[in-house]
Amino acid sequence: MNDPHYRIHSMTAFAREETTAAWGGLSVEMRSLNQRYLEIHPRLPEDFRSLEPAIRKQLQQAMSRGKVEVFLRFHPAHESGDAPLVLNETLARSLVDSLPALQAMAPGLQPASVGDLLRVPGLLRPEAPAMADIHRAAQELLDRVLQGLLQARAQEGRQIAEMIAGRLTQMQAICRELVQWLPEVRRQLKVRMEQRLAEMQVELDPGRVEQEFVLQAMKLDVDEELDRLQMHIQAMQALLGQRGPVGRKMDFLAQEMNREANTLGSKSVDARLSNAAVELKVLIEQIREQVQNIE
């Protein structure tokens, strides 16, 4: 689905990227889950702790709800033997200065070659990486992964919006049918009352009969519930097209819609109305389940 009308974001998403350079490799994973508020959990190596404030600020500016976990892993090149080697000049000078004394102590020994010296432990060592450069690379990688996470949240949000929009359309159709059925239901209610009274074969005051019908009709008066339900449906449809966090508002509307559907069911005196109330409650529950994922 690519309908730009739907702008809501899901709270559940995942993104991962990695990069390599002469100093080694970096990988970043971000995952976000449902949460009432925004919770940020960076998992950083000790040498990257200084990046945590910037990461928190970025995430706080980018989203408002969800539990977000950030995993940064660093694999130095020297651990895999790929790092450039540098000469330990202090040790090299000490060795060279010591050669004459060693030769004097053991005149029969062959003179040490450069290859012999290079085998001395510590004479060549991996070049220490410049952490400032690695931090910059890590921040760039974090930026890309964050954008990927936001895109994933938006993509899933559009899918959720499409599902909710479909359920809302079904609810509107049911409400329209109920509005059309109500006059017929009221007429049938009066007919049934008259039939029962006729079967009783007793003389009743017409005014009392009319009063009883009015009482029964009042119990069936669901016009206000239908009006409120349709207002809630329209409000939720409007939220689907809004930017920014709307999950809590939609959750509240879903609760209100469920309240109206319950009232419709409790007032029903007709199988069609009872069935319609059940269908509405099923659709509302499906919406409520999806709303829990919305930022």
- Per-residue pLDDT of 43-63, as tens digits, reads 999 999 999 999 999 999 999
Residue 4 lies in a domain: no
We report the CATH number of the domain holding residue 176 as: 1.20.140
Residue 98 lies in a domain: yes
Range scoring the smallest mean pLDDT among 100-109, 170-179, 234-243, 280-289: 100-109
Q: What does the DSSP 8-state code read for residue 111?
A: P
> Are residue 166 and residue 191 in the same domain, yes or no?
yes
Residue 5 lies in a domain: no
Residue 201 lies in a domain: yes
> Are residue 198 and residue 261 in the same domain, yes or no?
yes
Listed in sequence order, the DSSP H helices in 201-295 are 206-219, 223-240, 247-267, 271-291
Q: Is the per-residue pLDDT at 25 higher than 90?
A: yes
Q: What pLDDT score does 179 carry?
A: 84
pLDDT band at 2 (very low <50, low <70, confident <90, very high): very low
Which candidate, 32, 16, 14, places its Cα nearest to that of 295? 32
Determine the average pLDDT of the residues in 242-264: 93
CA atoms of 136 and 51, how far apart (whole Å): 10
Q: Is the per-residue pLDDT at 261 higher than 70?
A: yes
> Are residue 96 and residue 178 in the same domain, yes or no?
no
We report the CATH number of the domain holding residue 48 as: 3.30.230.10
Q: Is the per-residue pLDDT at 117 higher than 80?
A: no
> Are residue 183 and residue 218 in the same domain, yes or no?
yes
pLDDT band at 199 (very low <50, low <70, confident <90, very high): low
Digit-coded pLDDT (tens) for 221-241 = 678 888 999 999 999 999 998
CA atoms of 195 and 109, how far apart (whole Å): 129
- Say if residues 149 and 32 touch (Cβ distance below 8 Å): yes
> Are residue 109 and residue 146 in the same domain, yes or no?
no
> Are residue 40 and residue 120 in the same domain, yes or no?
no
Q: Is the per-residue pLDDT at 143 higher than 70?
A: yes
Residue 118 lies in a domain: yes
Q: How many domains does the chain have?
A: 3
Neighbours of 231 (CB within 10 A): 14
- 264/124: higher pLDDT: 264
Residue 36 lies in a domain: yes
> Are residue 56 and residue 96 in the same domain, yes or no?
no
Which residue pairs, CB below 8 angstroms and at least 24 apart, start in 236-242?
A: 236/164, 236/168, 236/287, 237/165, 237/168, 239/8, 240/5, 240/6, 240/7, 240/8, 240/161, 240/164, 240/165, 241/5, 241/6, 241/7, 242/7, 242/8
Structural domain boundaries, residue 103: 86-126
Q: What pLDDT score does 200 carry?
A: 62
> Are residue 282 and residue 163 in the same domain, yes or no?
yes
Residue 247 lies in a domain: yes
pLDDT band at 196 (very low <50, low <70, confident <90, very high): low
Residue 3 lies in a domain: no
Q: Is the per-residue pLDDT at 284 higher than 70?
A: yes
> Are residue 117 and residue 220 in the same domain, yes or no?
no
Tell me the pLDDT of the chain averaged across its residues: 84
Its pTM stands at: 0.71
> Are residue 148 and residue 24 in the same domain, yes or no?
yes
% of residues, the chain, pLDDT over 70: 77
Give the pairing type, strands 85-87 and 124-126: antiparallel
> Are residue 150 and residue 17 in the same domain, yes or no?
yes
> Are residue 113 and residue 184 in the same domain, yes or no?
no
